[in-house]
A = this chain, B = another copy of it.
Amino acid sequence: MDPRTEPRSRRERPAKPALSRAVIVATAMEITRAEGLRKVTMRRLARELDTGPASLYVYVSNTAALHAAILDEFLGTVEAPAEGEWQERLEGLLTAYTSVLLAHPGLAASALVARPGGPRYLALLERLLGLLDEGGVPGGRAAWGVDTLMLHATATAAEHAGRDGTDGEREDWDALAHAIDTVDERTHPRIAALGADLMSGAPHERLSWGFRTLINGIARTPNPFAAPDDDAAVADR
């Protein structure tokens, strides 16, 4: 088994795989895991599968649909915490969702634009609604709130996944921090007064505060479309 004596082709191709939707999606997920969703292009996929890009259109209607299928697949890996108060489990589930998006650059941006509706998405939705119900949040508020919570998680991930961390991103942050630091206190009194508070906190602390903020707001903001269920009181935290 000495790797030096073992002959090895540059890339092991077990014959040529028969094309199918399943093979395409599986290959796309491999690329996503290795290099991020941005590299999952029709042409790249075709190259990987030893065919021309036109062939893929027999199984996948377009790039957006392919990305949506990959997203739903990844949603299956979101794990909910098993213990704690309902708020903690809710926050944990949302944090896990955010982490999955952050782990694969480009996934978040796609989740923001694609209307997800696959089975894994529905399962995640159900879990979120279950936790809100457990916390006594009225149905109408939970129904609208769950969208807001998902949007917050997705948008936060998209914001962070945008920057490749390479170069200009740090500069942008520094530039904003400097602009806030040196702002004219006559024209921008509030920014000057708050100063460092505006840039404080690690990303995960900001995310956690955002979830708690939303949960508190959802619990106490009546949905004007739902049956009157406004008597519920939920404790702040």
Please list the residues of chain A having a beta carbon within 8 angstroms of any beta carbon in chain B: 61-62, 64-65, 109, 112-117, 122-123, 125-126, 129-130, 133, 139-140, 142-148, 151-152, 154-156, 158-159, 162-163, 168-169, 172-173, 175-176, 179-180, 183, 187-191, 193-194, 197-198, 200-201, 205-206, 209-210, 212-218, 220-221, 223-226, 236
How many copies of the shown chain assemble into the complex?
2
- Are the CB atoms of B129 and A194 closer together than 8 Å? yes
- Are the CB atoms of A190 and B129 closer together than 8 Å? yes
Residue of B nearest to A128 (CB): B190
Residue of B nearest to A200 (CB): B225
Contact residue among B143, B210, B236 (Cβ-Cβ distance under 8 Å from A148): B210
- 15 further A-B contacts with Cβ under 8 Å, apart from A109-B109, A140-B197, are A114-B162, A115-B175, A117-B179, A139-B194, A139-B197, A144-B200, A145-B213, A146-B198, A151-B152, A155-B158, A209-B224, A213-B218, A216-B220, A216-B221, A217-B218
- Are the CB atoms of A191 and B129 closer together than 8 Å? yes
Assembled-state Cα–Cα distance A117/B170 (Å): 13
- Are the CB atoms of B142 and A151 closer together than 8 Å? no
- Are the CB atoms of B213 and A226 closer together than 8 Å? no
Known contacts A125-B191, A151-B155, A155-B155; A115 and B209 CB within 8 A of each other: no
Assembled-state Cα–Cα distance A223/B3 (Å): 56
Residue of B nearest to A116 (CB): B176
Known contacts A113-B158, A173-B115, A209-B144; A122 and B200 CB within 8 A of each other: no
